Amino acid sequence: MTTITRFAPSPTGNLHVGNIRTALHNWFLARKAGGQFMLRIDDTDAERSREEYVTAIRQDLAWLGLDVDGEERQSKRLDHYETAFQKLKADGRVYRCYETAQELDLKRKVQLGRGLPPIYDRASLQLTEADHIAKSAEGVSPHWRFRLDHDTPITWDDGVRGPQKFDPAQLSDPVIRRADGSWLYMLPSAVDDVEMGITDVLRGEDHVSNTAVQVQMFEAMGAAPPRFAHEALLMGKEGKLSKRLGSLGCDSFRARGIEPEAIVALLARLGTSQPVEPIADRQALIDGFDLGTFGRAPAKFDDADLDRVNTAIVHQMDFAAVAQRLPEGMDEAAWHAIRPNLAIVADAAQWWQIVTGPIELPEFSDEDRAFLAQAASALDFTAADPWHALTAALKDSTGRKGKALFLPLRQALTGMDHGPDMGELLPVLGEDIARRRLERASA
């Protein structure tokens, strides 16, 4: 059986880092099995859903390199949910309720005060048809709940959490349809999973109780449930659930100069027993993806870790991958010279200024100016390695070594005390620029 996973965001906002992690792991799960990764847009909430968010979701997935094998939109499938609902209704698995939010809240408080679980008491099951007619006559429309089967324990073998068992009598019958006829999450999601052929559902552990309910929904529809896995949620580095994580999305990452490969490398292993490493090889990450390595403890997301991984990824990037993002005139040799000093690709423009100039020179001592004049004369670009040829000649002729040898040369050629490897940078500067800068510094 082909493995088919899905990512099902609601287009009520931009993707955040938690969403991205869920999408990535489902993509890995599908790609490792040679299966399919589906995008499902959960846009049944017409009031809050926005088309610009649908577009943004697609663009973010593409930017991250998470190609999809198909897309469905719940707003186009309302007739499918109606068909499933009518069957459940005929089978006695859904029922009408009329309690207001305030009434339900009061019931929960009373139950908690008695030391009872705050679940729905099924009072509406006691209503007669005459009661329903009376409600209708009053202009009160019902909302609908799915009736759980209390006689059979709910079980499944979770891909992360292991064997799971729920007593359905300790769960509320979930509301699946509002009084205005619109749908809540539970039933449409289960219907879609069946009709899209979803074999594996990987999502956050906050959905565990939803899964328990949906297992019975699948059975009520005569379908086998998919395999379920629930991973620990992301937390901030401070050790508690961070609201800030909800605002961290691809837009903020792009604005910071974070590479998609860095996000993928970090989130691929965050919360697993495998070390987070700057692995740009997507296939290596796919091959190493294993639900068995996922831990139960909350996964901690730290910006410093992302910056560290991003820097290491940038240091691996080939010229061809960044050429369109570099300053005009910056060639492959310049990229290789400057690359080890970059935290983000955009910083290349600052380092390129070293080559194109102008640069500001520090104040040199008379002794250093004499030394730099000698360097200008000794510069030899016919050598295979002009920098090492220059420093070797100057070391022999002046006796200088270490900082006294190298620092004045770097300062004269770049205006800085640190920076790219001079062996790579000097050929990028070229003989004319290098000689002029040495002569200027010696004047």
What are the binding residues for ATP? 243
Cα of 154 vs its chain's centroid, Å:
32
Binding site: what residues are annotated?
243
Nearest Cα neighbor of 310 from 349, 344, 338 is 344
Tell me the one-letter amino acid at 195. Answer: E
DSSP 400: -
Strand partners, 41: 73
70 vs 38: CA distance, rounded Å:
5
CA distance 415 to 409: 9
Dist CA 258 CA 266 (whole Å): 12
Q: Give me the sign of the Cα torsion angle 344, 350, 354, 360.
A: negative
Asked whether 414 and 334 are in contact (CB, 8 A), the reply is no
Strand positions, DSSP E, 215-303:
227-231, 234-236, 299-301
Beta-bridge mates of residue 154: 166
Cα separation values, 30 from 27, 158, 198, 437, Å? 5, 17, 11, 57
User: Which residues in 153-199 belong to E strands, given as ranges?
Assistant: 154-158, 162-166, 175-177
* Contact residues for 204 (Cβ-Cβ < 8 A; gap 6+): 18, 22, 230, 231, 232, 233
CA distance 40 to 32: 20
SS3 (DSSP) at 200? strand
- DSSP conformation class of 294: B
